[in-house]
């Protein structure tokens, strides 16, 4: 993926080591402060049986944020430290010394952390820079994550992909809330969805999702738009299926709006939260007319499959 002309020639990398289960929470704070993007280095190991890389859930992750070299990186780092002191993290953070990088250095460095992934029965996620020969019956999505969340490596994304494959969105109108790299939107179309509205509030995600949709030949079926579902300009239409891989707090806040954008009988795949959220979130969904059908587990992460009955 080519960088926009406005991107600076050199950047400052602010990074911190955190527990793997805390990486997304930490990354959310970084996204508010780091204008040139955020990356998560989640440790992986090569599984010889599946010939792919899988997450090592017991190891720490490294969250990296990028700011222009002209910015005050020390001030930004201190602000992040103060913000994250109050965060409910599983283990103390280990801050790294800021690094100055040329744009070409960071653009290629994170690629070594991504490999081909086989998810579910036939979904294959292939980084755009890797050659892969599609096998019969496989749905192959090529992803350049850039600085946007969503490569299939994170358990919450993988759970959403497996649920999406299981439900089968053929001829469905789909909402992808918090689309990140666009991976869920693209797979939905490859599995037969009629159209997808992909929403995100991160401009970097909008750019990356748009490019990934085009690279996979599904741009005509996916509308990528800045926004969410609880503000002026929220979609007036309703959907057969909603995908929401966002935080547990956001899911609780958006539960009424999620129910409102689903047609009667419409399905919801919601993920992005830890096991301790499972006690309250299903009750919130049920109170807003969403019948919880199943809770899916992957390590400490959870996903909920729900349906709007009326």
pLDDT tens for 72-96 read 888 999 999 999 998 888 889 999 9
pLDDT tens for each residue of 54-74: 555 557 888 988 888 888 888
Query: Smallest Cα–Cα separation from 262: which of 172, 183, 195?
Result: 172
Per-residue pLDDT of 188-206, as tens digits, reads: 999 999 999 999 988 888 9
With a CB cutoff of 8 Å and minimum separation 6, the contacts of 29 are: 80, 83, 84, 87
Q: Is a pLDDT exceeding 70 seen at residue 223?
A: yes
Burial of 22 (0-12, 13-18, 19+ CB in 10 A): buried
* Fold assignment, 117-308: Rossmann fold (3.40.50)
Measured CA to CA in angstroms, residue 82 lies from 14, 21, 75, 263 at distances of 14, 20, 11, 43
Question: Which positions ≥6 away from 75 have C-beta within 8 Å?
Answer: none
Strands 10-18 and 99-102: antiparallel
The DSSP code sequence of 261-275 is HEEEEEEEEEEEEEG
The helix (H) or strand (E) run that includes residue 62 is strand 61-68
pLDDT of residue 55: 53
Question: DSSP H helical segments within 34-151, as ranges?
Answer: 73-85, 103-109
pLDDT at position 203, please? 84
| Residue 1: predicted pLDDT | 32
Q: 10-113 maps to which CATH number?
A: 3.30.70.120
Q: How many CA atoms lie within 13 A of 65 on its CB side?
A: 25
> Which pLDDT score, from 0 to 100, does residue 145 have?
65
Average pLDDT estimate for 164-179: 96
Which backbone phi and psi does 142 adopt, to 5 degrees?
A: -100, 125
Asked whether this chain's domains 10-113 and 117-308 adopt the same fold, the reply is: no
Q: Taking the domains of the chain in order of start, what are their residue ranges?
A: 10-113, 117-308
């Amino acid at each position: 993926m080519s960088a926009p002309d406005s991107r600076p020639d050199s950047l400052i990398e602010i990074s911190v080591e955190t527990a793997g289960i805390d990486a997304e929470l930490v990354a959310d704070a970084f996204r508010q402060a780091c204008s040139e993007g955020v990356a998560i280095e989640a440790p992986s190991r090569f599984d010889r049986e599946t010939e792919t890389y899988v997450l090592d859930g017991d190891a720490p992750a490294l969250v990296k944020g990028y700011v222009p070299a002209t910015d005050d990186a020390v001030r930004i780092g201190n602000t992040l430290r103060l913000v994250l002191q109050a965060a409910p993290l599983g283990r103390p953070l280990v801050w790294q010394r800021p690094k100055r990088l040329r744009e070409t250095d960071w653009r290629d460095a994170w690629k070594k952390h991504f490999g081909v992934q086989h998810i579910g029965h036939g979904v294959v996620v292939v980084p755009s820079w890797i050659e892969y020969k599609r096998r019969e019956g496989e749905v192959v999505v090529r992803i350049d994550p850039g600085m946007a969340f969503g490569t299939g490596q994170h358990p919450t994304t993988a759970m959403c992909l497996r649920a999406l494959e299981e439900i089968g969105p053929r001829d469905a109108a789909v909402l992808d809330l918090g689309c990140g790299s666009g991976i869920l939107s693209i797979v939905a179309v490859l599995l037969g969805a009629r159209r997808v509205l992909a929403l995100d509030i991160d401009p970097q995600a909008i750019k990356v999702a748009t490019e990934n949709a085009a690279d996979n030949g599904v741009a005509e079926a996916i509308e990528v738009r800045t926004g969410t579902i609880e503000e002026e300009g929220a979609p007036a239409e309703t959907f057969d299926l909603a995908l929401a891989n966002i935080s547990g707090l956001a899911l609780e806040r958006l539960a009424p709006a999620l129910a409102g954008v689903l047609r009667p009988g419409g399905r919801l795949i919601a993920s992005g939260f830890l096991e301790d959220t499972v006690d309250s979130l299903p009750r919130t969904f049920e109170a807003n007319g969403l019948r919880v059908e199943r809770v899916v587990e992957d390590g400490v992460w959870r996903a909920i499959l729900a349906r709007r009955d009326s």
